[in-house]
Amino acid sequence: MKSLSLKVDDYLSTYFRKEPQFLYDASYYLIRHGGKRQRPFILINSGMMFGATLESLLPAAAAIEILHNFTLVHDDIMDNDKERRGVPTVHVKFGVPMAILAGDLLFAKSFEAALNLLKKSYTHKQVVEVVKALVTASIEVCEGQALDLKIAESKDFPSKEEYYNLIELKTSSLFKACATIGSILGGADEPSIEMLKEFGRLYGLCFQLVDDVLAVTGDPSITGKPVGNDIREGKKTLVIKYVLDSVSERDRSKLLSIIGNRKASNEEINEALSIIASSGAPERVRLEAKLISEKAILILQNFPKSRARDMLINLTMEASSRSR
């Protein structure tokens, strides 16, 4: 995965060598500071499963990673997050107006990258389908973020079904796009494309559930984000719902008084984290994520054995137990 990430990173950098330099520096800032590159990894291996080459898939891999980073820049502004990937967020480093512009530029650059597939001998029909997948994912991410903000403002917690719908829009949409785009560019038939789309959907659900767990149990030095920030922001995740359903009335009342309180002290946040840790809820959500990842693996096992397929299986096996 590391060698593939280096290839993607080298290619990504070519999109940010323009003027005005301060704008491109702000846009490239998060990309330059790392990231898991899981979305390009899934896209590239989904394409290579059907015979596409790494070089031919790089514009699409760049498009999805740039689009992902666009969502992070704007998400951090809305959530008032101070750190990501172990560094100050874009709006903290460059100011809110420049961060908004940087995000806007990233959004446009993602489509510029996608259109560069025309230089890789793909048909106009394939490139149109890729752009359609990116557009669909962009719309769904916005819908999911809107629901997330609305849920955070509400006094009520979403049901389990409502929460799964939220994360399918906000997180799974990009993973669905990765697997869909890769299989389209690999020349897969329609049933195979649909199967890979479902794989991406399931992988995204697993990924977000584990992210929710790490937000309240993770090591900031590994995750690159302050632990407990979701509590201050009032994020009503499945982890928190399970905690509230299982703890004593005293702990429940205490937790509810802290969730969404942006002025909560570090001591109060630590108390909330202690309640969550002792409730068993993080382990319960991890188990749900593991069961979902197993369904995703079953889909991949329908395809002929190949290095690309096995890379995706290995990634999925690790998804529910990851620590970053």
Helices of type H across 49-171: 54-79, 90-94, 96-115, 124-153, 160-167
Cβ(127)–Cβ(114) below 8 Å: yes
- Check residue 69 and give its pLDDT: 97
Q: Please report, rounded to a whole number, the percentage of residues in the chain having pLDDT higher than 70.
A: 99
Q: Which band of pLDDT confidence, cut at 50, 70 and 90, is reported for residue 62? A: very high
What span, in angstroms and rounded, lies between the C-alpha atoms of 45 and 22?
34
Q: Does 223 have pLDDT greater than 80?
A: no
DSSP letter for 88, please.
Answer: E
- Check residue 154 and give its pLDDT: 84
Distances (CA, A) of 144 to 3, 52, 112, 126, 141: 33, 32, 24, 27, 5
Amino acid at 62: A
Q: Does 222 have pLDDT greater than 80?
A: no
Structure tokens at 201: 């959907």
CA-based nearest residue to 43, from 270, 149, 166, 200: 200
* Close Cβ partners of 126 (under 8 Å, ≥ 6 residues apart): 117, 184, 185
* Close Cβ partners of 274 (under 8 Å, ≥ 6 residues apart): none
Neighbours of 141 (CB within 10 A): 23
Exposure string of 183-218, with b = 16+ CB inside 10 Å and e = fewer, is bbbbebeeebbebbbbbbbbbbbbbbbbbbbbbbbb
What span, in angstroms and rounded, lies between the C-alpha atoms of 176 and 106?
20
- Check residue 228 and give its pLDDT: 80
CA-based nearest residue to 291, from 231, 221, 223, 210: 210
3-state secondary structure of 304: coil
Distances (CA, A) of 260 to 80, 266, 289: 13, 14, 25
- Per-residue model confidence as pLDDT tens digits over 120-173: 989 999 999 999 999 999 999 999 999 988 888 888 889 999 999 999 999 999
Cβ(200)–Cβ(179) below 8 Å: yes
* Close Cβ partners of 120 (under 8 Å, ≥ 6 residues apart): 55, 56, 59
- Check residue 307 and give its pLDDT: 97
- Check residue 295 and give its pLDDT: 98
Mean pLDDT (whole number) for 91-112: 97
- Check residue 1 and give its pLDDT: 67
Neighbours of 254 (CB within 10 A): 16
First to last CA, the chain: 15
What span, in angstroms and rounded, lies between the C-alpha atoms of 217 and 239?
11
CA-based nearest residue to 235, from 37, 66, 80, 25: 80
Amino acid at 178: C
- Check residue 36 and give its pLDDT: 86
Mean pLDDT (whole number) for 15-26: 96
- Per-residue model confidence as pLDDT tens digits over 111-134: 999 999 999 989 999 999 999 999
